Structure 1
Amino acid sequence: MSGKRTKARGLGVIRLSKHSNRPDDPSTSPERQKHHILDAADKRGIEIVGWAEDLNVSARKIAPWKRPQLGLWLPNLAQETPTGGRSDEFDCLIFWKIDRIARSVGDFAQLIKWAGENDKNLIATDGTVDLSTNYGKAMAQIVAVFAELEADIIKERVNDGRQALRDEGRWGGGRYPYGFIPRQQDSGGWKLEHHPENAEVLREIVRRVIAGESMNAIGRRFDVRGVPTPSGGKLWEQMHLTPILRHRALIGESTYNGEPVRDDLGRIIQACDPLITRTEWDSLQKRLDAVSIPKNRQPGVSMLLRIGFCGRCGFPLWLRRKTIKGVEYRYSGCSGAWCATQKRTCDALGIRADFLEGMIEEMLMSAIGDLEMIEQIDTMGEDRREELAEKSAKLADLLVASAGAPESVKIRLAPDIEALTVRVTELESQPVIEPVRTQVGTGQTYRQLWESSDDKERRRLLVESGIRVEATKLDGTNQGMSVALIERPGREDDAIMIKQERGISVTLFIPHNLAQRATGNPAVKLLWRRSPLPVAV
């Protein structure tokens, strides 16, 4: 340390991990740590010039120089040439025990190396670390190894304990899924049960998603109604609901890292009563798969993502961007022609995206632009017949297994038989309530919504309306043509609209109910027969 000062300058370092088994233990509390540091500094004649107090920070996950408070004093040792920090304002770091400064041998070794190169000392108040002596440096390295080993042992012990609880279908602690709440059981331990309010909110979300309503539309609806969000902060419309709807607790399964936990016989362990039926779960996952956006998509949103297809082979249309002399050009093309990871299956040419989107907009607005956007309001029903059949079958299997079995087996099966009997009795007493769907006008036309939306919002409008697009580039011999709404041959679920222009052929598939509103004719007869148009240059 510098000889120009009568006292060495010390920085007090305090850390408390949020993963501590006993966060209220006075031996690890911030106040207790500060007391040890002040006492050691007084005995050594060190002046405390500052404090770096990091609470709810894991030493295993966050290096000392990256912590919110200590990182303000230390340079970034992850850099080849460490910079930053306020290391010129202190001569030593003082901490209670080595695990308060680091639990990684690598992190601690870097800290020791930096301290040696910059004439700094590291002092643990329990006497295990003091870099002012060679013995202290050696002991510091040895103690660091054992600190990391202890952390690994603690982590393994915690994980083993939680795994044992999962194997028993009990809640192992930590964050619990939305719609559920942990409750202590009379027999000991905790189990997840349905939250009295949030469970019904979650059931409504599931049914709306299955019915085809978008996440954003559901979010807006809940925000208007003032339904509290899972986080208690953000608006529903700003939340990402997919992880909630993918959680297998919805069907009562115990999970680990997203996968179901199984017993020794390969059976999935039930952690709680299911919130929805297996049929609802399968329909929900199918709907989520249909509307999900690939993680490896290009930057920006394609208006035709998963609703635009090649008119020649039926493969999805992709969006590509090219910059020529500083000007960006966008092209829509068949994935069968553009995919670089598989054999080319289509020879369709790319289409200028602005031309294609302009044609789609013109066709849509001419057909449905002046129609009012209709919103579906669903009144939830209640039908537990599927769960009743499932629970009744399980109860019957257990009764058969118990009949004539040894007394030890009967004792083991008795709690499950009793629980299933109670649940079956409850389900048998519940009436079947059919869901009711009503349609309410939004007060805005499709044209108004379209003109006030960006590509992402327009895509959502197309998805919610059930509209599908097929497009392909034609050779130069084709003349322009236009066909307004007609019934799709051999199909009753949608009508089609065709337009050829600028060497591009576009077909819109519009749901039958929307086509009926557009034409005012339940039969959706041919409105505008083919007529040659001049090819646009």
Structure 2
Amino acid sequence: MTITRASHDRPWTEGELTELAHLKSVNEQLPEDSPRALLSVRLSILTDDTTSPVRQELDLWRKANDDRVRVVGVARDLNVSATKVPPWKRKELGEWLNDRSPEFDVLMFWKLDRFVRRILDLQVIINWCQEYGKNLKSLHDPIDLSSTIGKTIVSLIAGMAEIEAANTGIRVASVWQHAKTQETWIIGRPPFGYMTEKGKGEKVRLVIDPFRYRILRWAYGAALRGVSASKMAKILNRARIPGANGGKWTSTTLLIQLRNPAIMGLRVETSSRSGRKRSKEVLDGKGNPIRVAEPILTQEEFDELQSALDRASRTNENPWTAGATKFLGVIVCRICKTNYTVRTSTSRGIRYKYLRCRVCGGKGADPQELYAALVEAVLEELGDHPVEYREYARGAEKRDQLRQVEASIKYYMEGLAPRGRFDRGGFVKETAEETLQSLLKQMDEIDPESTKDRWVLTHGGRTYQQQWEAGGTEDMSRDLLRAGIKFEVGYNESNEVEADLLIPEDVRERLVIREDAFKTGF
């Protein structure tokens, strides 16, 4: 087992690593049939050593050794909020809960508020533990799901944790509300085009970022000349200029920056309008905008820019038909791997639809022809494959049966030994020997795998072709996305459309339908 270190986690000291090695060595000496434990370590922000991941993990290893449970893994989820992210959605713990649950019997954590902070999430986990035969243990809380009192205590503690988290949220919201009314920069990430620096009296203020200033001024001039946002994004990407979040530019990400009043040096907040998030100015008590920095664009220039962007959007109004593309995420461009999307155009009063890459362009393909080609290729490769479901099989019943058989075998073997209770000869000994042979046969017929908690695959009684014929293209599209199947489209030297069906090697495993054990918690 290796130690992973996140960038925000302090390094392990030599003394801590030595202690960890000793605790592991002690744990490895426990019997193979000891209960198996998964340790969960979580922290949203590294503040001090009292609840640091290192401290949590060492304490949990000690607890595991004291309880004589074998540690089979450690799920480390750092910089993760328990209020926002439930256990089953965390990167490491989520993998154990959703896919590796047969490998452990008890889930151990340092303290309840390190594990969950919402009572609904806790209730979902309790239900899951009861369904899958798991237990919860906390180092600092009296938690034991095997007793009614333990479950009651868990619910009470979770309620207190939720109240504490709510109070924290109120305090944070209050800080944000106060910050929005101040001319100084108190909290939050600077808008694109600006950066923070400490001024007089160590107060943080916003100043113009020279490099991003030039990007915005260039885009302003290009927009006035009629250059589209998509063309500007291509130019910026060719020049290898990083986008607002460090990635590539798109027309959408560029328009977000160009339509943001923050580039006038004003305080803004995000609002949702017509299903779209837009930044709007924050006004003071007198109804005036709050200036927090020097402007990159003046009010007059900003208004000119918005008019130019509006004119460009009207010349190409809703060219990409929302929700009309079938197999979205499956049909992609061979060159840039971007989704092929349905586009509409009008010629001589007739509307046409065609599929085309939004980045690389091209003449486009007839949607129905491309859909038909995809369906035909998929059915040829996977149509006869049976629909399989993953189910959780408990081994408790078989384990009990095996223990009873082993105990009975031991009883008859001792009885048939010299001077044993069946060592009398005649009918008594003969009957005992027949019973022993029957028990040995029963033990041989018990599959060792059936005594373990495990995932098993069951057949749904139909093929994928039958399933897709009943569910239509929507069901087929969901299955293809889940399986990671791609239909890459491009053009040959004669500018004719051609496509390749790319199927992962583990496609059959990916296609297995896995029931969502935590669906009530979403």
TM-score, normalised on structure 1?
Answer: 0.51
Q: CA deviation at 1:281?
A: 1.1
> 1:252 & 1:273 partners in 2: Cα distance?
5
Contact 1:210 1:287 in 2 (8 A): yes
Q: CA deviation at 1:112?
A: 0.9
> 1:301 & 1:121 partners in 2: Cα distance?
48
Question: Who is 2:264 aligned against?
Answer: 251
User: Which of 110, 123, 133 in structure 2 is aligned with 1:96?
Assistant: 110
Letter of the 2:126 counterpart:
I
Letter of the 1:92 counterpart:
V
Q: CA deviation at 1:193?
A: 1.2
Question: Who is 2:472 aligned against?
Answer: none
Q: 1:201 and 1:47, CA in 2 relative to 1: closer, same or farther beyond 3 A?
A: same
1:200 aligned to 2:195?
A: no
> 1:123 & 1:189 partners in 2: Cα distance?
46
Question: Who is 1:265 aligned against?
Answer: 286
Question: Who is 1:114 aligned against?
Answer: 128
> 1:277 & 1:44 partners in 2: Cα distance?
68
Q: CA deviation at 1:135?
A: 2.1
Describe the SS at the equivalent of 1:150.
Answer: helix
Question: Who is 2:155 aligned against?
Answer: 141
| Of 161-170 and 55-64, the range deviating more from structure 2 | 55-64
**Cα RMSD for the two superposed structures:** 3.3
Q: 1:165 and 1:235, CA in 2 relative to 1: closer, same or farther beyond 3 A?
A: closer
Describe the SS at the equivalent of 2:39.
Answer: strand
Matches within 5 A, 1:278-297: 278-289=299-310, 290-291=312-313, 294=318, 297=322
Q: 1:198 and 1:127, CA in 2 relative to 1: closer, same or farther beyond 3 A?
A: same
> 1:128 & 1:243 partners in 2: Cα distance?
50
> 2:142 & 2:283 partners in 1: Cα distance?
46
Aligned-residue identity in percent = 31
Letter of the 2:147 counterpart:
T
1:14 aligned to 2:37?
A: no
Q: 1:111 and 1:223, CA in 2 relative to 1: closer, same or farther beyond 3 A?
A: closer
TM-score, normalised on structure 2?
Answer: 0.53
Q: 1:127 and 1:282, CA in 2 relative to 1: closer, same or farther beyond 3 A?
A: same
Q: CA deviation at 1:164?
A: 0.7
Q: CA deviation at 1:61?
A: 2.4
1:481-530 superposed Cα distances (whole Å, 9 cap, x missing partner): xxxxxxxxxxxxxxxxxxxxxxxxxxxxxxxxxxxxxxxxxxxxxxxxxx
1:260-298 superposed Cα distances (whole Å, 9 cap, x missing partner): 222222222122221101122112222333327548634
Q: 1:127 and 1:221, CA in 2 relative to 1: closer, same or farther beyond 3 A?
A: closer
- Greater helix content: 2
Describe the SS at the equivalent of 1:183.
Answer: strand
Question: Who is 1:359 aligned against?
Answer: none
> 2:82 & 2:250 partners in 1: Cα distance?
36
Letter of the 1:264 counterpart:
G
Q: CA deviation at 1:139?
A: 0.9
> 1:60 & 1:293 partners in 2: Cα distance?
41
Q: CA deviation at 1:319?
A: 5.4
1:59 aligned to 2:59?
A: no
1:162-192 superposed Cα distances (whole Å, 9 cap, x missing partner): 2211211233433322210012232454222
Question: Who is 1:519 aligned against?
Answer: none
Contact 2:75 2:93 in 1 (8 A): yes
Question: Who is 2:141 aligned against?
Answer: 127
Describe the SS at the equivalent of 2:127.
Answer: helix
Q: 1:88 and 1:301, CA in 2 relative to 1: closer, same or farther beyond 3 A?
A: closer
Q: 1:272 and 1:296, CA in 2 relative to 1: closer, same or farther beyond 3 A?
A: farther
Describe the SS at the equivalent of 2:37.
Answer: strand
Matches within 5 A, 1:438-449: none
Describe the SS at the equivalent of 1:74.
Answer: helix
Letter of the 2:185 counterpart:
W
1:274 aligned to 2:287?
A: no
Matches within 5 A, 1:272-421: 272-289=293-310, 290-291=312-313, 294=318, 297=322, 298-299=324-325
Letter of the 1:55 counterpart:
L
Q: 1:202 and 1:322, CA in 2 relative to 1: closer, same or farther beyond 3 A?
A: closer
Q: 1:220 and 1:114, CA in 2 relative to 1: closer, same or farther beyond 3 A?
A: closer
Q: 1:57 and 1:136, CA in 2 relative to 1: closer, same or farther beyond 3 A?
A: same
- Unaligned 5+ runs, structure 2: 1-30, 271-278, 326-339, 355-365, 374-493, 498-522
Question: Who is 2:174 aligned against?
Answer: 160
Aligned residues: 308
> 2:93 & 2:113 partners in 1: Cα distance?
14
Contact 2:60 2:109 in 1 (8 A): yes
> 2:232 & 2:372 partners in 1: Cα distance?
39
- Unaligned 5+ runs, structure 1: 76-84, 329-450, 455-537
Contact 2:260 2:280 in 1 (8 A): no
| Of 262-271 and 296-305, the range deviating more from structure 2 | 296-305
Question: Who is 1:186 aligned against?
Answer: 200
> 1:139 & 1:5 partners in 2: Cα distance?
32
Contact 1:249 1:271 in 2 (8 A): no
Describe the SS at the equivalent of 1:49.
Answer: strand
Q: 1:246 and 1:317, CA in 2 relative to 1: closer, same or farther beyond 3 A?
A: farther
Contact 2:321 2:344 in 1 (8 A): no
